[in-house]
Amino acid sequence: MIARPALRRWGRVLTRELLRRRLPGGLMSPCYLGSSQDPRARLHRQFWWHSGQHWPRGLWLVVQVLLWLRWQFLHLVPHTLRVVKRVGPSIAAHEGISLACQARRLLWLGLAWCIPASEAYAFRLYRDPQRALDYVYRQETGAYHAWRNHARGVYASSLQRMQDKTALADWLSAHGVPMVPTLARPAREATPTLSELLGDTPRAFCKTNSGNQGRGAFAVWRSHTGLQGRLFTGQELVDSEAVEAAWRALCALDQSLIQPCLLDHPLLAPLSISPEEIITVRLITTWSSGRDSTPQTLDAFLEIPAGRRDKGETLYVILPIEPHQGRVGPPIRSVHWSGLYEQALARIELQQQRLGELPYWASVVSHSLHAQQLFPDIASIAWDWVLTPSGPVLLEGNSGWGLSAVQGQRGGVLAAEGSSRDH
């Protein structure tokens, strides 16, 4: 007999998977039933299979089949046509590929591999759909990192430390890496208001102790009328009541942290839309291949909050950074650029000419490589830095970092790794 709490837990999991998910846990294709000799297809099949490792396999397969059927018969055609209608005319005008041709290729990718048109456009697969298996997609990013970490004999304790922001900060600080301090870490069962916890602190940033992508996070500051703030996604918290509601919602998600609001270096500050929204430098480090493996830089990006969308969400402009010299390069063109993005980019490019090499870049690289050395069993880590007037400060590290920017810059990560790593 299965205990009732376990039944309720699995009920919640199934509800979440079947109602909230639109796609299977990875690329799911009838091609997997054959004996494909394409090493990239075998890797994608491995990623898909790994995504269900914590499930009873029979139940997981049933859920995956249901998600596949729902994608094919309910979501594929409406999603593809909606994206083609929004993005396709610009492609047709500038590249001469007709809307019918774009739709046909993207529908094939969605039908054969469950690749959504939004990601196919991001990697320009409407031009060459045969390159689709070179790329790792959002629904399989976690499995890709797990695959690379497995090759290095990853320890669960290392992954747990990476996911616990407080534990990671304590560990790296003890090894000389400059970390953002934590002002308060209230117990989850405690119920103090944010105003009580802030005390005399004029500005702070509140976030969860685990997770990424800024889920529930917000900045808060004192004004003459009380507390005000802004969610990480950009929406305003107009008064103390809204701020306290955001604080309660954050605490319901996970253990919460209160950290000081940092300021951008004067060279970078004019790029941001407001002083409350800091610019992040993301530097990705990885272990080199070969017997005498050493940590090295992979890619780096400047993530700039540069505008507001119609519903108040923050618009980010991402610029590549040359990882050896620290020079900011031109943006990677995207088919998803809107008029608002173009306006924000034009403003940033005027300021960018003054930058030259980013301040403290040698220190950022040195500390990041040193931090990677402390995790010899994790294949690669994305380190998020803020360049303040007094020096670089590390916000956090992420071992499951998103691949979109790197693949937009370098091409599909499996184009180089697939055949060599599979044998």
Nearest residue to 149 (alpha-carbon basis) of 377, 307, 366: 377
Of 10-14, 143-147, 157-161, 392-396, least confident by mean pLDDT is 10-14
pLDDT at 383 over 90: yes
Residue pLDDT, tens place only, 122-174: 999 999 999 999 999 999 999 999 999 999 999 999 999 999 999 999 999 99
pLDDT at 291 over 70: no
pLDDT of residue 3: 60
Distance CA 398, CA 332 (A): 23
Do the beta carbons of residue 246 and residue 261 sit within 8 Å?
Answer: no
The CATH code for residues 152-178+263-422 is: 3.30.470.20
CATH 3.30.470.20 range(s) for the chain read: 152-178+263-422
Do the beta carbons of residue 154 and residue 377 sit within 8 Å?
Answer: yes
Reported as type and span, the H/E element at residue 285 is strand 280-287
Do the beta carbons of residue 313 and residue 233 sit within 8 Å?
Answer: yes
Over residues 357-367, the mean pLDDT reads 95
Reported as type and span, the H/E element at residue 157 is helix 156-163
Averaged confidence pLDDT in the chain: 88
Residue count (the chain): 423
Verdict on whether the full-model pTM lies above 0.95? no
* Confidence band of 200 (pLDDT split at 50, 70, 90): confident
Chain-centre distance of CA 320, in angstroms? 15
Residue pLDDT, tens place only, 52-82: 888 888 989 999 999 999 999 999 999 999 9
Q: Which residue has the higher pLDDT, 153 or 418?
A: 153
Question: How many other C-beta atoms can be found within 10 angstroms of the C-beta atom of residue 233?
Answer: 16
Structure tokens at 57: 């396999």
Is residue 109 helix, strand or coil? helix
Residue 98, Cβ density class (10 Å: 0-12 exposed, 13-18 middle, ≥19 buried): exposed
Do the beta carbons of residue 317 and residue 341 sit within 8 Å?
Answer: yes
